[in-house]
């Protein structure tokens, strides 16, 4: 069974990169490897925390029970994809 992944963004007050474009790339490159949880109500196995900068202020209290994969810059993408593929 594919791992179910939830995307959680920070609020995006002053992001240093295009967070939405990065997530689109992430989804495209992991197509078929993982399943994406689309809302808070959907069950998930892990959470990708998409933080716009190193402050990483996204509120993750609701996801304390899950494995969390943070992204704070575009350079984190390759590492994340590698780890996700290993999970998948």
| Binding residues for another protein (CB under 8 A) | 7-14, 19-20, 50, 57-59
Q: Give the whole-angstrom CA distance, residue 53 versus residue 14.
A: 8
Nearer to another protein, 1 or 13 (CB): 13
Nearer to another protein, 43 or 61 (CB): 61
Using DSSP bridges, classify how beta strands 67-71 and 46-50 pair: parallel, antiparallel or unpaired.
parallel
Least Å from the CB of residue 86 to another protein: 26
Least Å from the CB of residue 3 to another protein: 20
Nearer to another protein, 9 or 66 (CB): 9
88 burial class (0-12, 13-18, 19+ CB within 10 angstroms)?
middle
Q: Give the whole-angstrom CA distance, residue 79 versus residue 64.
A: 22
């Amino acid at each position: 069974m594919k791992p179910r992944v939830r995307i959680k963004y920070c609020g995006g007050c002053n992001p240093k990169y295009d967070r939405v474009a990065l997530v689109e790339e992430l989804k495209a490159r992991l197509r078929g490897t993982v399943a994406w949880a689309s809302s808070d109500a959907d069950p998930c196995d892990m959470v990708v925390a998409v933080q716009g900068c190193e402050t990483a202020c996204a509120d993750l209290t609701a996801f304390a029970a899950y494995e969390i994969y943070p992204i704070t810059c575009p350079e984190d993408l390759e590492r994340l994809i590698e780890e996700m593929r290993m999970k998948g």
